[in-house]
Structures are given as C-alpha cells and as structure tokens.
A and B are shown apart, each in its own frame.
Chain A
Amino acid sequence: MLEALAYGAVFALVSGTVLPLLYRSKNARQASFGLSLISSVLLLGFAGTVLYTGKEPSFPAFGFLPGLDFTLAADRLTAGFVLLIAAVLPGVSIYSLEYTEHAKSEARKALQAALTSLFVLAMLLVVLAGNMVGFLIFWEIMSLSSLLLVLHDYSSEENKKAGFFYFVMTNISTTFLFLGFISLYRLTGSAEFGPLEYPAGALTLPFLCLFIGFGVKAGLVPFHKWLPYAHPAAPSNISALMSGVMLKVAIYGFLRFLLAAASPELWWGVLILIAGSLSALFGVIYALKESDIKRLLAYSSIENIGIIFIGIGLYVIFRVEGLETLALMSLAGACFHAFNHALFKSLLFLCAGSVVHATGTRNIEAFGGLVKTMPATSALFLIGSVSIAALPPANGFAGELLLYQAFFQASALSANPLLTVFMVIALSSFALTGALAAALFVKLFGITCLALPRSEESRLAEEVEKPMLFGPAVPAVLCILTGIFSKQILSLAGWDIEFPDLLLLGLLLAFIYAALFLAVRAKTEIPDRISETWGCGFPALTPSTEYSSAGFSEPLVMIFKSIYRTRIVHRPEYFDGQESLFKNGHVEIRLLRFFEEYLYIPPALAIDSLSKRVAKLQNGKLDSYVLYAFLAVLTLIIATGVLV
C-alpha cells in the first residue's frame, strides 16, 4: 500500500513531465500541474504514514549495472523531507497554472511545465534513493533540470551569466559529492547508506568532502554566491521550489551522512556551527543592503540555511558531549526550521513573483502602496514576513524557539568551559541574526506594500489572477497552522521535547485581541475620520519624501560599515603615454564583492591561464599529435611496469 503511494506519485510526476512535451496546449500544461497536485497528495499520505507509524516500506531493487543496484528506501528522515516536498508542491502547482502562461512563447511554456515536473521528480527521487548510485544520478538530474529552468529566459545577458555561474557551482558541488561518496565506498565497500561505525579520524575525508559538496548546494557562506545570481534569473515559481526544496535536499543528504556516522567528532560540530553562524549573519547583512526583491530573498535563504546548519552543529556538539535530550532538541529544531523555511520562503517567492509580474520590475525602490492596489497579495506577503521574522505564533518562531532552548541550556556543557564560552558567542550571533531578519522584513514589507506608490508601475499595479492568489494561500495557511500546532506536530512526529504550547498562546492572543477590539469599538463615541496628517512641513506628501529602502537600512549599514566595504574603481584612458591627455574613463563606486573578488575570481583566473597553456599543445600539426600519442603510450607502459 505504502509502496503504491510512492509509485503513484512518481508515475504522476513522470506523466506530468511527458504530457506538456507531447501536447503543446494549455490543457496539457494544466494537466501537468494537476498531476503534481495529485502526487503531492499521494506523497502526503506516504510520508505521513512512515513518519507516524515508523513503518518502512520495502521497494524491489533494479539491477542497474553489474554490481550496482538501484533501490528506493524510506525511513523517518526520508519521510520528513518527502513531507516537505509534499507541503511546498501544492502551492507552487496552483500558482504555476497561471504563472507559466505568462511565459513568452508556446515552446517556453511547454518546457517550463515539463521541466518543473522533472525537477520535482528528481528532487523526490534523490530523497527516496536507497543508495549512493541513485542519489548521485538523480542529484545530477535535479541540478541540470534546475539549470535549464534558471536559463529559462536565456536571451538576456544577465541570465546567461547567472546560468553559467550556477552551472559551475553545481558542478563543484557534484565533484565533492563524488569524492565524498567514493571515499565512503572505499571505506565500507558498499554503496548503501548503512551505519558508519568507524573510529575517530577515519571519516575525516568523507566528512569534509560531503560538507563542502552539500554546503555549496545549500548555499553556505562562502559557497553561496550562486544563489543571488540564480534566483533573480529563474521564474518565481522555480525560485520557490529551488529555495524551498532544493536547498533542503542538500540538507537531507548531509543529515543522512551525519546520522549514519556512529562517532562524529567535536570539531565537526564546531565547524558546522561556525559555518552556519557566518552564513546566517552574512546572509542577512547582505540582504539588508539589497534592493532587488528576489536577490534579497535569495540572501535571506542563505541566512535561513545558516540557521539550519546552526541546529545541525548544535546537534553534533551535544551528541558528542553525550547530552541526548539537547541533541534531539537541536536536531528537531534544524529539521523543523528546514520544513518551515520551505513553507514561508516558497510563500514569499510566489508573492514576489506576483509583485514583479504586476509591476514589471524587481526594484524595491519602485514599489510602495501595494497594500491598496494588491490587497490579497499584500496580506499573504505579510503572513510570510511575520513567519520569517520568527514572530509568535507563526511557524518561523517555533523552529527558532527550539534552537534558542538548546542554546540556553548549554550550561549543561559545564564539563567543557571553553565550549560554553564558544556557545555564548554563537548564541549572541544567532540573536543578532534573528533581530536583523526582523528589521529586513519590516523594510521589505513596509517599503513594498505600505505608504505611497513610488513609481507609476506600482500605482497602476493590478491584483493578480485567482490561481496566483490561491497558490501562495496554501503555504500561508500552513505557516500559521504549523506554528500554532507546533507542539502537537512535534509530539506526533515522536519527538518528546519540552516545548511551550503555541496553540494556547495563539488562542490567548486571538481572545485578547477580540476582547480589546470589541471593547474599544463599544467605547467609541465619535467615528474615525480620514484626514490629512502632518506631512513634515512639505506642502503635499509625495513619494519622494517617503523613506526609501536604502534609507531604511542606512543606520544598519553605518553600524556594520566594516562589513559593507565600498570599492572605488577608476579606469582612465589617455591619448598619450604620459597620461596627460585624458581621453575617456570609467569610474564606479560599489559594494565590495568580497567573496567574488578574493575567493572566486583568483582560482578561476588560475584555471583560465593554465588551460591557455594546455591549449598550446593543440597546434594543429599531425606529427605533434602522433608524438603525443606515442608519449602517452610510453608513459602508460612505464607507469604500469613501475606500479604493478
């Protein structure tokens, strides 16, 4: 029965991929998204059963290559991430019904619909893969299908660059995963994800390779730069899937390894915690300065991935120190935050897609007043902002609460004082991240939706069509429900953790609000009036007197000015060699792209110059090619003679 649910979902997604390619009609595309919706229902049943009963389904193995079988498998960790896919998919599918129809040509619409299903299918199968072979194959399909979707609007120069960047980064990720899995295979002699019972030190190489491999894909600082490029280029429904689900697939892979490792080491946890804290902090700090709505959300994804890694790091540290309860709490926090982030980030990306569609720009400075022109989208956007700013009782708060509780009880680590001090530093950076995220989303929602429209496009924006409202409404409702019922959900999932009942808090807040509202209304004697208020002495309130996005974040930019370094570039050209007759020039003042300029470009240039030297070998003369072949054979013979 369980197996049938999984097969059904896979079958629905396969048909969803094929259908729009065979029939280029709107109906076929609608059917494709309908099939995604059906598969998400099936997956919900599948994952819910596995998670609740703990019953593991058994799938037959397919002989794939001699000695290499391909199997599906599902345990509770798998089920958790399948549930995540099933939770994000309905909103995105409903949204895409309408959104995909805005693509430029019939062929692109068909491709987008087909690739979306393929992308989801690949992500599902990565999570369900029972061994490393299947994992890597579907990992590549996932990367390539998402690459094609990022390149969806391939005619623009900016998107081509984004696609190339993404392609390189995703290949680096895959390379490290291959290295990691091969070193694991050499150790265990099997491609299965079995328990790894090895003494300390044996797993160092696989750990480092997998940490980098999954870290690149998840967008961990300093491997994060592909996110702010790929997200603005991709269609918004795909951004929702990439940020909501694909990053979590990387988290899943990393967790699968960590949970299998029988004896993790303390430095693993410290490394993960440091990387997580830095990602969280840098992500939100860069997001504050950003004025492209989708790039801002991409940076915010980096922040949230950082928070998830903080949870994982805490889990490893507490596990090594033998504090099982706290380890469980941190792991639950990491997983729950991954799930929550999938919901609210897909919600925010879908809303951003609607806003961009309605105004035709991604620049926050051009928005404003959307709460009047697009009331429903704005309300959904507010729910997303409240959730991601971790305000009670929405779900973003529930996940962070678990992590805070784990941090606050770090006093249990008293056997290791230095570690406790380290935890205090990590805690304060975590708190700073949380508060900066709140500031970020006050800015995003406030500048986008409130006050006067800052541009003509924004003033004339119209509310989007029904599917593009019902789509984000699904994750919005789920955000509130998973927040309020967080305690119940955690206990249903079998995690018995000390946790305040947010249902009670939610009911209490609703009750007090209703009581206050009614009391105030009953006391009101004079009706409300709408009238001009103080406009700071300006004759009329115009958009140019309003606070802008850059103005809003200015105090924080001042406070963190050592992080936002500006770079001034002069490139003058002269008529003469003495540099006295000025001909032309280029001057720019911009934010220092630290990671790109110091971390990405130097190795890229080195590889470039190396390949130029290698390219000299290719001189087009037949006799030198014969010589190469001869030398190669000679080396081979000598090498085998020496080695064997």
Chain B
Amino acid sequence: MNTSFLLFALLNPAFALLAAPLYMALIRKVKAYAQGRKGPKLFQVYYDLRKLMHKEAVYSPTSSWVMRLTPCLNLTALLACSLFVPLIFVPEPAGGFGNVIVFLYLLALERFFTALSGLDAGSAFGGMGSSRSMSLAAVIEPTMVVAFAALAFVLKSLNLHEMFALTAGSLLPASPTLVLVSISLFIILIVETGRLPVDNPATHLELTMINEAMILEQTGKNLALLELAHAIKQLLLMGVLINTILPIGLSAEADAGKIAVSALLFLLKAGVLAVVIGLFESALAKMRLFRLPAFYMMAFFFSALTILIEVFA
C-alpha cells in the first residue's frame, strides 16, 4: 500500500458518496425542462435521502433476512467499487484494486442480491422485476465484458488505474478507437442505471418497471441506502466513460492543488454528461422488452469493432 493509494482510498469513495445524488437530480431537472416543467431543486435528492434515513423500515411478514441484508450489502459493494474507478485523481495501483473483472463482478454482486430481495417479499411485482433484471443483465453481460476487454486491449492493462494513468492529463482520448468504445460505454451506462429506452426510472407501472419493481418493497432507511448505491453506480460508470473519452484535467499525482482542479473538472464534465443523458432520455420512448437485445447488440458491435480495428491495424 502506498500513500498515494491510501489517500485515494479516503477521498475517492467520499467524493463519490457526496457527488452521486447531485447527478440523479440534474438528470431529472434536464428531463423536466425538456418536458416544459420546472423540475425539482438540484439538492432535492439529498433532502429525499435525509428524509428517508429518518423513516422507519417496514417489512412484509413474508420477507426474510435476505431483504434486511441487501441494502447495506449493496452500498458496501458500490463503495468498494468506488475504489476501482478514479474520479478525482489516478493513484498508483495497489492490492489488485482497479482490476476490471473484479469491478464488473462487484456490480454483479449488487444485482444478484437486489434480485433476491425482489423475490423475497413474494409480491408479483418484485418477482417480475428480478426476473426481467436478471434476464436483461444476462444479455448485456457479453457486451459489458467485451467493451471492457476492448478498453483493456487498447490501453494495454487489466487495471482501471493503470489504464487511466495512461490517458490522464491528455485532452483527447489516447486512441481514436476509444471513441467507438465510448459509444458502447454510454449504452452500458444507460442500461445499467435503468434509464430510457431500457427501463423508466420515473414510473411505477407494471409494464415498464424493472429496477423500480425490485425495490418496491423497500422502505425508509433501506430505500435510502439502495437509492444511494444506485446513484454511486451511475456516477462510477459515468466516471469510466468520462475518463475514456475526455480525460482532460485528470491528475495522475496525489497533489492537493491538482486534485482540487481534477475534482472540479470532473464535476463539470459529469454535469455535461448528465445533461446529455437527460436529453437522450427525453428524446426516446421506452423500447419493448424483447426489442432490447437488438439495442444491446449495437453496443456489442462497437466494442467488437474496436477490437477488430486494433487487431488488424
């Protein structure tokens, strides 16, 4: 363990925890503007989380310890994930943190337990949510793995820290093929965070819900933990995309001034990305469930194309 990594281990999760809810709100705001509404305040998600934290948890009599275990476990997995994606500066790698595959499977851990807790209460909604979520996750998984394999391929490392140390500081992506990977990463971001056209985070209709259906039974502080975990997941995937396509300003040194600049620039870049996501969501309608594999194939195509170009170039 080096000091650079220890500093990172303290700052990066804290930054992720604090900044994540902001972008949930920002996307909502953008969508509201696009629909001609004013939308909630930028800090509304923070207020909501605080309100939920003060509320009691209500459990269905059919539910078991699986449901009680899941909220903390999910946030744990995502906080551990936040050690894998450099948001404010790139540390020297240590202890295998940053390994792409471990990162992907920590996300799988979160999904697994969310799906189980969806089944736990025995309501048809929860079961439907976990069934759909696991099915779609299975179909997107090859795309995710191949996209990250393409990233590893282009940046010649298995470690996200080492990858982004290579791109850090430069204005443009390290290789033109990274633009192609970025398209895949954007689609993965949309899919994994349950946004349109895959899932609609704003409705509670049985026909459209996936992620919301699974956590429908969760209440109070548990819901707050799950929402926070979801927000961090979104921020981390945004971080991967931003570091790939627009690494400008990302510091590779643990220097206070540089970290501050890096963090501010990240907040700004993530803000732009959140606006893009909001507009993207507003422009599209929800796709039929069984049309989604075709949408995923598009992301798969761009990642596979990257590898092909790298191989034959």
Contacts and interface: CB of A to CB of B under 8 A. Distances in A.
Given A417-B311, A500-B95, A516-B72, A438 B135 contact: no
A435 B112 contact: no
Contacts, number: 247
A363 B131 CA distance: 19
The A contact surface, by secondary structure, is: helix
B119 A442 contact: yes
Interface in A429-449: 429-432, 434-436, 438-439, 441-443, 445-447
A499 B99 CA distance: 9
The B contact surface, by secondary structure, is: helix
Please list the 7 inter-chain residue pairs (A to B) with the smallest Cβ-Cβ separation, ordered nearest first: A500-B96, A547-B127, A435-B141, A451-B122, A446-B119, A431-B145, A428-B142
B245 interface: no
Given A421-B308, A501-B95, A504-B95, A541 B145 contact: no
A331 interface: no
B130 A408 contact: no
19 contacts: A411-B152, A427-B142, A432-B142, A442-B130, A446-B115, A446-B119, A450-B119, A451-B122, A504-B95, A512-B76, A513-B72, A516-B76, A529-B56, A533-B58, A534-B216, A541-B62, A541-B122, A547-B127, A552-B130
B112 A386 contact: yes
Nearest to B153: A411
A392 B106 contact: yes
B248 interface: no
Interface in B95-124: 95-97, 99-102, 105-106, 108-109, 111-112, 115-116, 119-124
B73 interface: yes
B137 A531 contact: no
Contacts of A624: none
Interface string A587-606: 00000000000000000000
A429 B141 CA distance: 10
Given A432-B141, A500-B95, A516-B76, A452 B307 contact: no
A509 B84 CA distance: 13
A477 to B, nearest CB: 19
B70 to A, nearest CB: 11
B97 A500 contact: yes
B121 A451 contact: yes
A392 B119 contact: no
B283 interface: no
Contacts of B139: 432, 435, 559
Contacts of B61: 530-532
A414 B307 CA distance: 11
Interface string B277-313: 0000000000001100100000010001001101110
Contacts of B156: 411
B275 interface: no
Contacts of B307: 420-421, 424
Given A391-B112, A513-B76, A520 B221 contact: yes
A388 B17 CA distance: 31
Nearest to B150: A424
Interface stretch (A193-201, A341-349, A397-405): A397-405
A535 interface: yes
A231 B124 CA distance: 32
Contacts of A60: none
Interface of A: 369, 371-372, 382, 386, 389-392, 397, 401, 404-405, 407-409, 411, 414, 417, 420-421, 424, 427-432, 434-436, 438-439, 441-443, 445-447, 450-452, 487, 498-502, 504-505, 508-509, 512-513, 516-517, 520, 523-536, 541, 543, 545-547, 551-556, 558-559
A429 B142 contact: yes
A536 B209 CA distance: 14
B125 A536 contact: yes
A442 B136 CA distance: 13
A401 B121 contact: no
Nearest to A451: B122
Given A397-B105, A528-B57, 18 more contacts: A391-B108, A421-B311, A424-B149, A435-B142, A442-B134, A451-B127, A501-B96, A505-B80, A508-B80, A512-B80, A513-B73, A516-B75, A526-B54, A534-B125, A534-B216, A555-B136, A555-B289, A559-B135
Interface string B129-167: 011101111111111111011001100101000000000
Nearest to B9: A508
A530 B58 CA distance: 6
Contacts of A392: 102, 105-106, 109
Contact of A420 (B58, B126, B311): B311
A500 B138 CA distance: 25
Contacts of B267: none
